[in-house]
Homo-oligomer: A and B are copies of this chain.
Amino acid sequence: MAVETLDTVGHAWPRADARDKVRGAALYLEDVRISGMLYGRVYRSPHPHARILRVDTSRAEALSGVIGIVTGAELPFLHGESLVDEPFLARDKVRYVGEAVAVVAALDQQTADEAVRLIDVEFEELPAVYDALTASQPGAPIVHEQLGSYRHAPGITPIAATNVCNHFTLRKGDVDAAFPSCDRIFEDTFSTPMQNHCVLEPHGAICQFTEDGRITVWTHNDSPYRARKEIADAFGVQMSDVRIISAPNIGGNFGGKGGLKAEAFAAAIAWKLRGRPVRVVFSRDEEFASSIGRHASQTRMKTGVMNNGTIVAREVEVYLDSGAYAEKGPTVARFCGVSAAGPYTIPNVKVNVYCVYTNKTTSGAMRGYGGPQACWAYESQMDMIARALALDPVELRLRQIYRDGDQHVTGQRLASSGVSICVEKVAKAMQWRDRERKPDTGIGIACMERAVKTPFGSGAFLKINEDGSADIMSSSTEVGQGIDTALRQIAAEELGVPMERIRKAAPDTAFTAYDASTTSSRSIFHMGNAVRLAAADAKAQLKTLAAAHGLDASTNIAEILRVAYGSSGTVLGRGYFYPQTEDERSEYYTRTMAFWLEGAAGAEVHVDRETGRVTVLKIWGAFDAGKAINPLNCEGQIEGGIAMGLGFAVGEEITFKNGIVLNTSFLGYSVPLAPDVPPIEPIIVEHPHPDGPFGAKGMAETTNVPVPPAIANAIEDAVGVRIRHLPITPEKILDALRRQAR
């Protein structure tokens, strides 16, 4: 194969989808229309917790243009990724305001919307619970009486007859024995609110059940294979009977497009109206009140340290508010739990994370996935310890931070750990020691680690075309993160052809190979390896073909195919990556993680003592990419994540009253706009991972995680007040300043 001078791995390729998106030519799910397609709309519960006594759809059915209505009574199926607890439509009772009770399908959207208003449901209200801590106490109203009987994945520990849908535990050493020997004990509580993904494209799906037993779903789910499994399991069909076709482009994800959202409702009504495709797209109201958000959390952190700053013992108790259903809460709890003690070597650790049902909008996966809640606590308290012991916060961190070869609190030996480098790079970039301090201005730093979803595999096909160009076939979804571009770079590098000769289309479970999910920043590592292996497989076959036809090793691919097949043949590569685990112990969470996401952020803030307003002046972010396959993508991920972390720090919060979401539009929910984002300095750390493709590992998902504590730490540095409860509003600053003054 001719090795040309190639700009492949390591080159800052702009994303292939960028120009089409800017110019309006990019197709989304919204653009997919099928003749004969019906339009669906969901009837949603007005009550947080109520028994359904009667559903009367007769007036709605009588409306001209209504083709059919499906109610929960007709659908005995449940779905759910780690815990199968969610009906496609509520059956006996509703568990939150906004829960789906029925789906109408009509000839047009207006008729469907109108029909929903004609549905008459008789409810009997039940006592409700709105807070994870309260919900976990004995005597609280029970959200799921059947919790003990639900099917669930291994490694999940629901507690029957309670609201705890997963109780995660982690133990190392003996905290109870260690605490008395410590010089100082720090015990604090921290909390974070529910955050919304705020993606531009709302959830949607089109579904058709055909007579040949196939279920086709056109959607933008982030993980086609997982969605397929949930639907196949629910409807009791074979996986090959369910086809998930990804839209050509996806308008944002951040974890919100996993699980079954609009897919469940489109499937429910399509199942009833056998043969007719039905489309269900959420309104912005539904996005805020009936989709998912980030788990609100309450954390109690007790840390025992010696006067020199050595942390001897740490006990962490986290309550995650799951809302009405488990969704991905049980595994969010696990990911929160394994990192809850922070990226530090601590001899004694005790972690309990409770994922608790309440009568509120369900929470689920969102960028960071348990990381932001954990990091907010451990990195806030780290600065509180430093301040109390008069130690430098950076030094305190670096003293006990994980490094290559350290044993993680889970027991895993860390092959590669870049978190210390990230802290050092941020400190250096922000001139940690020497930065000039203006009045009411401060700087803060925070670092983080989080596990990647493990152990789950990824497969890929790669086919060589007759002209030597190639197509990657991968179920990784391009949700705006740039995975398509990065995978093309990896394949181009491995094949030794220019990047422009490689394409990748959106996934389709009829074609693209199994992939666990496009989540957890796992794709560049898992799918990157699978694609690299598929390309290597194809390359090896080409080499054999070339040799068999007496061709020189430098012959280009098209010429090899021409000689071998007369341009009527191809070469097909396959690659499969399943991370090898160091141990296979029975407890699910202790399995070795394929890699750890690591990074650090620094912030400089100014606090207006009159108004309490915090102005973030600059944010630095260093994240370990192992190897930046595409530095432009990595920088974009750092910038985007930091903006999201900023929003979580200083403004975003879904507010509830009696279980009702009060802010269901961008008017009442303050996501940062472009002018709100300060200068950002992205720093890519390349500490190679031995198992990653070209040393790469994921870094994108958690670039938001250390931002809120870095800002809170900077605020304390600026004006000496400590905010423990996100978001950091002017009211909280003013209140703290007032208390400080007293």
Contact = CB atoms under 8 A, between A and B. Distances in A.
Interface of A: 16-17, 19-20, 23-27, 30-36, 208, 210-214, 229, 232, 238-241, 243, 274-277, 455-457, 459, 461, 463, 465-467, 469-471, 473, 500-503, 505, 508-514, 516, 565-566, 568-574, 576, 578
A571 B471 CA distance: 19
A577 to B, nearest CB: 10
A228 to B, nearest CB: 8
Contacts of A210: 20, 25-26
A217 to B, nearest CB: 13
A20 B215 CA distance: 13
A25 B211 contact: yes
A25 B213 CA distance: 12
Contacts of A232: 467
A32 B31 contact: no
Residue among A27, A238, A502 with most chain B CB within 10 A: A238
Nearest to A276: B25
Contact of A36 (B31, B275, B277, B568): B31
Nearest to A19: B211
16 contacts: A25-B208, A25-B210, A32-B34, A33-B33, A232-B467, A239-B467, A240-B470, A240-B502, A243-B505, A455-B566, A457-B568, A461-B473, A503-B510, A514-B570, A569-B576, A570-B576
- Each complex incorporates copies of this chain amounting to 2
B569 A514 contact: yes
A568 B576 contact: no
A466 B516 CA distance: 11
A34 B26 CA distance: 11
B229 A466 contact: yes
A63 B570 CA distance: 48
A278 to B, nearest CB: 12
Residue among A274, A455, A508 with most chain B CB within 10 A: A508
The 10 closest A-B pairs by CB, nearest first: A25-B275, A511-B511, A514-B570, A505-B510, A240-B469, A33-B33, A19-B211, A239-B465, A240-B503, A238-B469
Contacts of A274: 25
Given A20-B211, A511-B508, A31 B35 contact: yes
Contacts of A32: 34-35
A238 B574 CA distance: 22
Nearest to A277: B27
